[in-house]
Amino acid sequence: MKPTSLLLLCLALGLGLGGCTRLSTLKATTVSYRLPEGSGPTAQIRIIAKGIVRGVPSSDCIDWRKPDSGLMVRPHGNRPNPNFRSLGMPMSAEADRLRRSDDFGANELKIPANRPFALMFSNTERPKNSDLIYSCAQSVRFTPEAGVNYQLVFIHDTQQQCLALLRKIDGQGNALPDEVKLEKADYCSADARP
């Protein structure tokens, strides 16, 4: 839906700008990310996550109202044939094992190169035999290089830490030793927050 159409819909429904923000947040959890038209050079990224990952192309901050932003990965929820969008990127046995794990999800996607890309990871879980609920949320950004294959792993680990690890991968799908630097991403503006 175009931003002007969304604004008119919000006004027609009497939602005001606060309601529009909630609608843009809803969009980020229900509408899939897509490569912007005419984006020029691209990189490929495999995202493996124990939680939900949403992305904002050509942005160094989070704002779900931006065109083409949306859902990139969600856990497959123990489905026997999880949805996995493959671009044919080489994959190591370890990455394949991890992406098939019960609490994980994964996708391979094209992203615009030479421009910042912002991602938000979130996960909530209740450990077995516990009344506690643990929540993990992290927003990061990086600038992909054209023609490079990346693998990004988001984990909410057993010590309840929120971890993000981004690496370039080689022709066999193995992660290269040097970690690609991720920077913290914030919301673009106060009204972009959910």
> What integer pLDDT is reported at residue 8 of this predicted model?
41
73 and 154 inside one domain: yes
HSE toward the beta carbon, residue 24, CA cutoff 13 A = 27
Q: In one letter, which amino acid is 151?
A: Q
Q: 112 and 20: one domain? A: no
Do 44 and 92 lie in one domain? The reply is yes
Verify that 46 and 132 share a domain, yes or no.
yes
Q: 186 or 3: which carries more pLDDT confidence?
A: 186
Q: What is the pTM assigned to this prediction?
A: 0.80
Which amino acid does the sequence have at 114? N
CB-CB contact of 82 with 100 (8 Å) = yes
Span 134-191, pLDDT tens digits: 788 899 999 999 999 999 999 877 666 788 999 999 999 999 999 999 999 999 987 6
Pair (17, 88) in one structural domain: no
Strands of the sheet containing 162-169, edge to edge, are 105-112, 42-49, 149-156, 162-169, 175-179
Same domain, 108 and 184: yes
Classify 154 as helix, strand or coil. strand
- CB atoms under 10 Å from CB of 18, counted, come to 10
Number of domains in the chain: 2
3 state DSSP class of 172: coil
Residues 97, 173, single domain; the answer is yes
Same domain, 59 and 132: yes
Domain that holds residue 9: 1-30
Amino acid letter, residue 83:
N
Q: What is the pLDDT of residue 21?
A: 44
Which pair of structure tokens corresponds to residue 90? 């080489």
Same domain, 74 and 19: no
Chain centroid to Cα 39, Å, comes to 18
- Pair 55, 149 in one domain: yes
Same domain, 99 and 21: no
4 pLDDT higher than 90:
no
pLDDT at 5: 45
- C-beta of residue 19 within 8 angstroms of C-beta of residue 58: no
Same domain as 6, residue 41: no
Query: What digits encode the pLDDT tens for the residues 34-62?
Result: 899 988 999 999 999 988 999 999 999 99
